[in-house]
Amino acid sequence: MSSPMISLKSLTSTTTMNQLLATAKSGACASSSCGSPAKPEDVDSATWEKIKDHPCYSEEAHHYFARMHVAVAPACNIQCNYCNRKYDCANESRPGVVSERLTPDQALRKVIAVANEVPQLSVLGIAGPGDGCYDWKKTKATFERVASEIPDIKLCLSTNGLALPDHVDELADMNVDHVTITINMVDPEIGAKIYPWIFHDHRRFTGLEAAKILHERQMLGLEMLTARGILTKINSVMIPGVNDEHLVEVNKWVKERGAFLHNVMPLISDPVHGTYYGLTGQRGPRAVELKTLQDRLDGGARLMRHCRQCRADAVGLLGEDRGQEFTLDRIPGEVRYDASKRETYREVVARERGDHVTAKSEAIGMVKAAGSSGLLLVAVATKGGGRINEHFGHAKEFQVYEASAIGINLVGHRKVEQYCRGGWGEESTLDDVIAALEGIDILLCAKIGDCPKDQLTEAGVRVTDDYGYDYIETAVSALYAAEFGLEPLAATA
């Protein structure tokens, strides 16, 4: 297991095509595992083909591929208590920041501009504000225009499901193979506490009647998608005291109807966003409550644990948002699609990925085989590629991996303020970072200075840069071995 380290960074920063090719070629593949199918064991190969480049549907893919959202469909047919339409959809985007709303033509220009500059781009999503299935003409026009310019881009749609059954056939015809439905209840009694009204069949419905219609349409839409082989992700907003316990039932219903993935997201209810929940003091769940619920749901529909609740106009890898680089005023009036960067990037990723999968399965196999009852929570500073390749001071989030008898799994992430700014560390920021790392056993990063290292150690967070640039799972398995007195694997990379 030793392959040359290929820098994905050099491929993804804005650079000339010649530099890009030179970098790609310098990383000749010397690994015996080259070309091995980078497929997790728990999905069939047809499904894997659909999700392998989709950062939201495949945790493995989220290390390599990026998504972008375009806000083209602002009209909505539902009022949710966690959304204030004066600003933005709080479900699908960080609230309080108004997104740039685009016409389908503007969206096309933006997608081309991003595809030319961000080679990781693999998915275009329409995810609010508003509902893409309700505001259908704009959604359809956008998908059709983008697909004709960039045929290999994956099209993805997020919806509340109310108008979904009306458009499933068109979605299938347009090769939209990923649809997310936000489903917060299967019991209309609970639904009535979440949705004050819906607009359906030319009139407004409220209360139990509204929730009942919504529930029936959501289930019908999900069944129709499943029947056509379109992969579905179910988003549920976890609202303590309202639907938190009930989400166990929701998970069961959606699994029975073929949902591929279930993503339970914490309610965001800051009063400043002016949502009903925000104003009535409804709290969101704490990180530990969310994790406890997710752990209970394990064994039902596959769970998404790497969601970052991104903005409706986010651009880039999950956990980063380059949206501000691509606002309309920064995009030329005329743009032409240039496929070369994306193609080169994909070639390199295909090679790197095979190697990563082998390293990962060896590491997980070792931890499983150890038969230890020990449990280790490890935070990792990474900027993609599945490696520990971010400096402590530059990290804006840490990915959290759990090593235990069931293997090594990504179980979440912790957002932090960047500690190092312009060469100097901020003392107060370090305190916040330490607080954010509550419960973490060990922190891994590519590099860390002596000063923050000492302070973290003093605060009880062990930290090391000994595994800098290694694959995450390889390092975690070595730590696990050391922690619980097992025989470690030889280091890779």
Single out the segment in contact with other proteins by CB under 8 A; choices: 32-40, 187-195, 199-207, 314-322.
199-207
Q: Which of 85, 252, 391, 394 binds other proteins (CB under 8 A)?
A: 85
Complex with other proteins: residue 73 or 176, whichever CB lies closer: 73
Out of 60, 117, 135, 397, point to the residue binding other proteins (CB under 8 A).
Answer: 135
- Give yes or no for residue 122 binding other proteins (CB under 8 A): no
Beta strands per DSSP E along 193-260: 197-200, 203-206, 231-238
Query: Given the structure tokens 């390889």, which residue do they identify?
Result: 474
Nearer Cβ to other proteins, position 201 or 487? 201
> Residue 299 and residue 307: Cα distance in Å, rounded?
19
Out of 95, 119, 130, 188, point to the residue binding other proteins (CB under 8 A).
Answer: 130
Nearest distance from C-beta of residue 357 to other proteins, angstroms: 44
Question: Closest approach of Cβ 85 to other proteins, in Å?
Answer: 4
Site string for other proteins, 87-106 (x = CB under 8 A): --------------x-----
Amino acid identity, residue 487? Answer: E
- In the complex, the smallest distance separating the C-beta of residue 133 from other proteins, rounded to whole angstroms, is 13
Nearest-approach distance from CB 134 to other proteins, in angstroms: 8
Q: Which of 386, 392, 391, 347 minimizes the C-alpha distance to 363?
A: 386
- In this structure, the strands spanning 121-126 and 407-415 are unpaired
Which of the ranges 79-87, 115-123, 246-254, 284-292 carries the binding residues for other proteins, by CB under 8 A? 79-87
Shortest spacing between CB 138 and other proteins, in angstroms: 9
Residues 287-346 that bind other proteins (CB under 8 A): none
Contacts of 33 (CB under 8 A, 6+ apart): 1, 3, 354, 355, 357, 358
- Write out the two tokens for 31: 């690994």
Q: CB of residue 141 vs other proteins: minimum separation in angstroms?
A: 13
Nearest-angstrom CA–CA distance, 343 and 347: 6
Choose, by CB under 8 A, the member of 3, 79, 93, 372 that binds other proteins.
79
Q: Are 112 and 326 in contact (CB under 8 A)?
A: no
The residue among 134 and 326 lying less far from other proteins, judged by its C-beta, is: 134
| Closest approach of other proteins to the CB of residue 72, in Å | 11
Q: Is 203 in the site for other proteins (CB under 8 A)?
A: yes
> Do 146 and 138 form a contact (C-beta atoms < 8 A)?
no
The nearer residue to other proteins, 204 or 415, going by C-beta atoms, is 204
Helix extents (H) in 380-449: 427-436
User: Which member of 16, 42, 151, 202 binds other proteins (CB under 8 A)?
Assistant: 202
101 or 257: whose CB is closer to other proteins?
Answer: 101
Q: Identify the bridge partners of residue 379 per DSSP, sorted by sequence position.
A: 400, 443
**Residue whose pair of structure tokens reads 């009903």 in the numeric block:** 276
Distances (CA, A) of 402 to 149, 171, 360, 409, 466: 42, 37, 14, 5, 19
Tokens of 51: 């999700």
Give 85 or 394: the residue with its C-beta nearer to other proteins: 85
Look at residue 287 and give its three-state secondary structure: helix
**Contact between 77 and other proteins per CB under 8 A:** yes
CA distance 248 to 246: 5
Among 74, 191, 284, 468, binds other proteins (CB under 8 A): 74
The stretch near other proteins (CB under 8 A) out of 196-204, 215-223, 265-273, 467-475 is 196-204
Contact 119, 342 (CB under 8 A): yes
Applying CB under 8 A, among 86, 334, 422, 487 the residue interacting with other proteins is 86
- Amino acid residing at 242: V
- Which one of 64, 134, 419, 471 is in contact with other proteins (CB under 8 A)? 134
Contact call for residues 130 and 74 (beta carbons, < 8 A): yes
DSSP state letters, 298-341: TTSSEEP-------TT-EESTT---GGGG-GGGS-SS-----HH
Residues 137-166 that bind other proteins (CB under 8 A): 137
Residues that bind other proteins (CB under 8 A): 74-77, 79, 85-86, 101, 129-130, 134-135, 137, 199, 202-204
